Structure 1
Amino acid sequence: MSLLVFIDTIALCLVVSSALLQRFEEAAKADGSLSFLVIGDWGRKGAYNQSEVAFQMGVVGEQLKIDFVISTGDNFYDSGLTGIDDPGFDESFTKIYTSSSLQKQWYSVLGNHDYRGDVEAQLSPVLTNHDGRWLCLRSFIVNAEVAEFFFVDTTPFVDKYFTEPGDHVYDWRGIRPRKTYVSNLLKEVDLALQESNAKWKIVVGHHTIRSAGLHGDTDELVKQLLPILQANNIDLFINGHDHCLQHISSIDSAIQFFTSGGGSKAWKGVVNWRNPEEMKFYYDGQGFMSVQVTETDIDIVFYDVFGHVLHKWNTSKQPHRAW
């Protein structure tokens, strides 16, 4: 009986520890600054201008001396990876993002298209061993000294993937029971944000919270995640999902919403313009985003497939005082 109790206790510990958001450390530059690129909705084996966007990312990455790259999901089309040996990983990632400046850590979240394949393949350390840049988890935290990044697995929030999957088959291993998964994730994100002492708090997910694009706002995130982000005074929410580039501000908080989903197939031709007080920028095409962070400033730039600057935005904060 005591052995059974011991085994049950070990099992409980494993369950509890697996629920905690894994944390990673990313060193800032010697001057305390940080720079990175954001790309989303990209994995099409070079097609739909993916290779051209990748080339321009390499150019800008070299200019800014980037520290890492963020992927906002839908990493492999149309249905994720079939397994750890799927050649699509090389054909859409390793052989596409070849510029020397892009040989940095890639922090990636899953999108809804990724869930249509073998999700655990993308999460597998086998892929990281194959290409050391690759790091993809459901939800996790990256502490980059001057900023802290909270990556959130948004696909399980969306009702229609469960109630109206159509012809698509989703890999829900590790998600069910869904209600418990989402509830625990919200609690973990809330607690992590509360405990964060970072100067800048940046949340990354695949799905939109605010969008003028084809998909529009994701109601489930607006209702469940956004109140937590507002209560914890985050600075930026960065996503993909809509295949465009956009910047939307908030009239009821300081949160800025940025979409970088132009990594390959774009030009949806659907724009639902918002209140001009909110709608700062929209581009229905391919491209990517750069972010530079210091203790006092964030500078964001959107680029198109030719590397042309489309939109710039800056915000400032007073530096922390040393008492």
Structure 2
Amino acid sequence: MALSIKQHMLFHVMLVTGALCLLLTPSVAELPRFKHPAKPQQSLRLLVVGDWGRKGTNNQSLVANQMGIVGEKLNIDFVISTGDNFYEDGLKGVDDPAFFESFVDIYTAPSLQKTWYSVLGNHDYRGDVEAQLSPVLKQKDSRWLCLRSFVLDGEIVEFFFVDTTPFVNEYFVDPGEHTYDWEGVLPRMSYLSELLKDVDSALAQSKAKWKMVVGHHTINSAGHHGNTEELKQILVPILKAHNVDAYINGHDHCLEHIIDKNSGIHFLTSGGGSKAWSSDVRPWSLEELKLYYDGQGFMSMQITESNADIKFYDVSGKTLHTWSISKDRNVPAWI
């Protein structure tokens, strides 16, 4: 049975209070860290795709083909996956053929033979989570790197990957017909509090020019799922406190760019890797909403010390939207 509004509010208060108390004490654990050096000219180029693993259907193969073309033009360094890597219910085990059918045999372009840094989505949690995190998959395809939460150090930029599914109340209190694999997450309060503490600590220690957080779930979105209130309440304050430049996500099957008018944080949704939702958009201030595209596609980023240039592409490779984020937030961006 779903929680009442009053119970939801009580849960939020408890979680926020517990998290803030733990944030006052140093963490004994640190998020795993990976190093990806910037090129000699101090730049990184990458693609971002989410919500893709459908064995090539729902235009997944077409998106993959265009990713290969753009990836070659940009000479990308790596790919970020924003989760929901395997539909409908994650992987059944390390030998599940879906790993080949939805990943290895789909993203075959030479330019995509780079590391894929991936987080888990809610659909991944409906399968065997440990299988998707297992080093056995990396033995099957060396590109694959998936953890619950971790830091990717690209020298000029650090990406902080956050496991967002355990934040969402609905999956615990009203999962419907779905079964979620919570091994490694329970007790939930302790898991979330430790995670928030570790993310806060990692952001505080970062000396990178750019700080970007990657998660599966939306924070600000005009799409089907809309805002994830749990993240707005307990993750966004940490992002603001540490001047995070962008939050990158999937979950909504669209391409989207929102700039929060108060914090200046860019909310970038790249969840168009396969199935999309046509004409499924909520009202949003045009002052903040710079792009909403209800179709398949992906995003690229080119990052230097002074600028982060983002570009969204549709399923045919057409450019839908470009934007340059400057480290000097007083400099107007261009479209």
Which of 253, 269, 290 is residue 259 of structure 1 equivalent to?
269
CA contact (8 A) 2:90 2:125 kept: yes
Alignment of 1:225-240 (within 5 A): 225-240=235-250
Q: CA deviation at 1:63?
A: 0.4
Report Cα offsets for 1:220-269 as digits up to 9, x if no partner: 00001001001100001000000000000001112100000000000343
Q: Which stretch shows the higher mean deviation, 221-230 or 271-280?
A: 271-280
RMSD: 1.2
| Partner SS for 1:291 | strand
Distance, in Å, in 2 between the alignment partners of 1:267 and 1:167 is 22
The one-letter code sitting in structure 2 at the alignment partner of 1:95 is D
Segments of structure 1 that go 5 or more residues without pairing to the other structure are 1-15, 319-323
Deviation at 1:75, TM superposition (A): 0.1
TM-score in terms of structure 2 length: 0.89
Amino acid at match of 1:85: D
- Classify 1:33/1:128 alpha carbon distance in 2 versus 1 (closer, same or farther; 3 Å): same
Match of 2:40 among 30, 43, 47: 30
Aligned to 1:188: 198
Are the structure 2 counterparts of residues 270 and 26 from structure 1 closer, same or farther at C-alpha, using a change threshold of 3 Å? same
CA distance in 2, matches of 1:138, 1:63: 31
* 1:66 match: 76
How much has 1:60 moved relative to structure 2? 0.3
Kindly report which structure 2 residues correspond to 1:6-21, keeping only aligned pairs within 5 A, or say none: 19-21=29-31
Once residues 26 and 160 of structure 1 are traced to their aligned partners in structure 2, the CA distance between those partners, rounded to angstroms, is 36
Count the aligned residue pairs. Answer: 303
Paired AA for residue 157 in structure 1 = F
String of CA shifts for 1:5-51, please: whole Å, max 9, x gaps: xxxxxxxxxxx999420000001112110000000000000000000
> Match of 1:150?
160
CA contact (8 A) 2:27 2:198 kept: no
Give deviations 1:44-65, integer Å, cap 9, x for gaps.
0000000000000000000000
Q: In 2, are the aligned partners of 1:273 and 1:279 still within 8 Å (CA)?
A: no
Matching residue's letter, 2:124: D
Question: Which amino acid is 1:146 matched to?
Answer: I
Partners of 1:189 and 1:155 lie apart in 2 by 15
- AA matched with 2:99: F
Match of 2:100, as an amino acid? D
Matched, 1:316 2:326: yes
Aligned-partner Cα distance in 1 for 2:242–2:327: 16
* Residue in 1 that maps onto 2:105: 95
- Contact map agreement 2:27 2:197 (CA 8 A) in 1: no
Contact 2:55 2:106 in 1 (8 A): yes
* Structure 2 CA distance for partners of 1:100 and 1:18, relative to 1, 3 Å: farther
**TM-score normalised to structure 1 length:** 0.92
Q: Which residue of 2 aligns with 1:307?
A: 317
What is the CA deviation profile of residues 152-190 of structure 1, one whole-angstrom value per residue up to 9, with x for unaligned ones? 000000000000011100000000000000011001101
Q: Tell me if structure 2 keeps the 8 A contact 1:214–1:268.
A: no
Look up the match of 1:130: 140
Partner of 2:238: helix, strand, or coil? helix
Q: Helix, strand or coil for the counterpart of 1:272?
A: coil
Residue 227 of structure 2 corresponds to 217
Out of 100, 106, 123, the residue aligned to residue 113 of structure 1 is 123
1:5 paired residue number? none
The counterpart of 1:79, out of the listed 64, 89, 106, is 89
SS state of the match for residue 222, structure 1? helix
What residue in structure 2 maps to residue 3 of structure 1? none
Contact 2:27–2:201 under 8 Å retained in 1 = no
- How far residue 317 of structure 1 moved from its aligned partner, in angstroms, is 2.3
Q: Which consecutive residues of structure 2, in runs of 5 or more, have no partner in the other structure?
A: 1-25, 329-335
Q: Name the CA distance, whole Å, in 1 between partners of 2:324 and 2:68.
A: 23
For residues 39 and 297 of structure 2, what CA distance do their matches in structure 1 show? 26
Aligned residue identity for 2:127: G
| CA contact 2:254–2:270 (8 Å) conserved in 1 | yes
Q: Distance in 2 between matches of 1:27 and 1:57?
A: 22
Identity within the alignment, % = 66
Does residue 174 (structure 1) correspond to residue 210 (structure 2)? The answer is no
Q: Residues 53-95 of structure 1, C-alpha deviation per residue, up to 9 Å, x if partnerless?
A: 0000000000000000000000000000000000000000000
Q: Distance in 1 between matches of 2:28 and 2:168?
A: 23
